[in-house]
Structure 1
Amino acid sequence: MTLRDIKRGWLRSLDIIGDIAVIEVKPEFDEIKHEIAEKILKEAKYIKVVVEKKSPVSGEHRVMDLEWLTGERRFTTIHREYGCIFKLDISKVYFTPRLSTERMRIARMVRAGEVIVNMFAGIGTYSIIIAKRALEKPSKIYSIDINPHAYNYALENVKINKVEDIVIPILGDAKEVITSRLMGVADRVLMPYPELALKYLEYAIMALKDSGGIIHAYDFIKYMKTEDPRNKMKERYEEKLKEFNVEYEILDIRRTGEVAPREYRMVIDIKILNKNGFKRF
Structure 2
Amino acid sequence: MPRRELLRKIAEEVYGPEKARRFWKRIDIIGDIAIIKKPFDVELEELKPLAEALLARLPYVKSVWAASSPVEGMYRLRKFVHLAGEQRSLTIHREYGCSFLVDITKVYISPRLSYEHYRVAKLVKPGEVVINMYAGAGLFSIIIARHAKPQRVYSIDINPDAYQLMVHNVKMNKVEDIVVPILGDAAKVVPETLRGTANRILMPLPELALEHLPAALAGLREGRGVLHVYLHIFAEKGVDPRSRAVETLVNRLEELGVKKHRVLLARVVRTVGPRRSQVVVDVEVET
TM-score range, shorter chain: over 0.9
Alignment of 1:199-238 (within 5 A): 199-238=211-250
Distance, in Å, in 1 between the alignment partners of 2:43 and 2:107 is: 28
- Contact 1:17–1:79, Cα closer than 8 Å, also in 2: yes
- Contact 2:196–2:223, Cα closer than 8 Å, also in 1: no
Question: What secondary structure, in the 3-state scheme, does the structure 1 residue paired with 2:284 have?
Answer: strand
Distance, in Å, in 2 between the alignment partners of 1:61 and 1:252 is: 28
Question: What secondary structure, in the 3-state scheme, does the structure 2 residue paired with 1:210 have?
Answer: helix
Match of 2:35 in 1: 22
Alignment of 1:243-262 (within 5 A): 243-246=255-258, 247-262=260-275
Match of 1:279 in 2: none
Alignment equivalent of 1:74, drawn from 84, 88, 91: 88
TM-score w.r.t. structure 2 length?
A: 0.91
- Contact 2:135–2:141, Cα closer than 8 Å, also in 1: yes
Residue identity matched to 1:36:
L
Quote the offset at 1:29 in angstroms: 6.7
Match of 2:126 in 1: 112
Alignment of 1:163-182 (within 5 A): 163-182=175-194
**1:23-55 Cα shifts (integer Å, max 9, x gaps):** 024545743322221111001010000000100
Residue identity matched to 1:49:
S
For the structure 1 residues 2 and 243, does the alpha-carbon distance in structure 2 shift closer, same or farther, using more than 3 Å as the test?
Answer: closer
**1:75-94 Cα shifts (integer Å, max 9, x gaps):** 00000000100001100110
- Contact 1:52–1:69, Cα closer than 8 Å, also in 2: yes
Structure 2: tracts of 5 or more residues without a match? 13-19
Alignment equivalent of 1:196, drawn from 178, 201, 208: 208
The runs of at least 4 aligned residues of structure 1 exceeding 6 Å deviation read none
Distance, in Å, in 2 between the alignment partners of 1:77 and 1:42 is: 19
For the structure 1 residues 267 and 2, does the alpha-carbon distance in structure 2 shift closer, same or farther, using more than 3 Å as the test?
Answer: closer
For the structure 1 residues 3 and 228, does the alpha-carbon distance in structure 2 shift closer, same or farther, using more than 3 Å as the test?
Answer: closer
- Contact 2:11–2:50, Cα closer than 8 Å, also in 1: no
Residue identity matched to 2:59:
K
Instruction: Give the percent of matched residue pairs that are identical in Structure 1 and Structure 2.
Output: 46
Number of residue pairs matched by the alignment: 272
Match of 2:15 in 1: none
Structure 1: tracts of 5 or more residues without a match? 276-281
* RMSD across aligned positions (CA): 1.5
